[in-house]
Amino acid sequence: MIDWPLAELLPHAGDMILIEQILSFDDEQIHTRLTVRPNGLFSCPDGSLPAWVGIELMAQSVAAYAGCHARQRGDAVALGFLLGTRKFECNVEHFPAGTELTIHGLRSLEDDNGMGVFECHINAPGIHATARLNVFRPPQAAHYLHESQGVQS
C-alpha cells in the first residue's frame, strides 16, 4: 500500500479524485482501488456508478502511476492527457454502491515524447471491464499549454 496522498499524485482536486487508494506500483504497472459510494460526483439515483466512469477510473490510475514515478524521482507531478480509448468493454452497465473495484493499469508502450499506451482492467465479483488507453504527457506541459493558448481557429 502507498501512503502518498492522492492529491499530491494526481492533477485533480476535491470530488474529481475518484480512486481512493494505490495498492501497489512498479516499473510497468499500478493497482488501485475504489469503493463505490452513493452521492458521489457521478452517482446514479440508486447510488451506483455508471460503467462508462470506468474509463476515468482507469485514466486516474494511469495518472497515479505517472505521479508515483515522478515522486520517486523527486520530480513534480506533470500534467497528462487522456487522448482516447480503444475497445472499452464492460460486462455491466453500472457498478453497484458498496462494490470494491480494483483497477489495474499495465504499460504497453511509452516513448520519450510522452506518448503512452496502457492496458487497463477493472475487477470486482461479477464485474470485469477492459480498455486500452492512449495517453500523452508532454515533456514540458506548462510550455505546451502556454503555446496552445495562442492558437486560434
- Top pLDDT among 86 and 65 is at 65
pLDDT at 85: 92
Burial string for 59-87 (b: 16+ CB within 10 Å, else e) reads bbbbbbbbbbbbeeeeeebbebebeebee
Q: Domain 6-149, CATH 3.10.129.10 — does that match? A: yes
Residues 81 and 135 sit within 8 Å (Cβ to Cβ): yes
Q: Give the tens place of pLDDT for each residue, 101-120.
A: 999 999 998 887 889 999 99
Q: What is the mean pLDDT of the chain?
A: 89
- The rounded distance, in Å, linking the Cα atoms of 82 and 104 is 16
Q: What phi and psi values does residue 108 have, to the nearest 5 degrees?
A: -100, -35
Grid coordinates standing for 34? 475504489
Beta bridge partners of 107: 118
Closest among 77, 92, 10, 137 to 21, alpha carbons compared: 10
Q: Give the tens place of pLDDT for each residue, 128-145.
A: 999 999 999 887 666 655
**Which residues lie below 8 Å from residue 50, measured CB to CB, with a gap of 6+?**
42, 44, 93, 94, 95
Q: Give the tens place of pLDDT for each residue, 13-67.
A: 778 889 999 999 999 999 999 999 998 889 999 999 999 999 999 999 999 999 9
- The rounded distance, in Å, linking the Cα atoms of 1 and 58 is 18
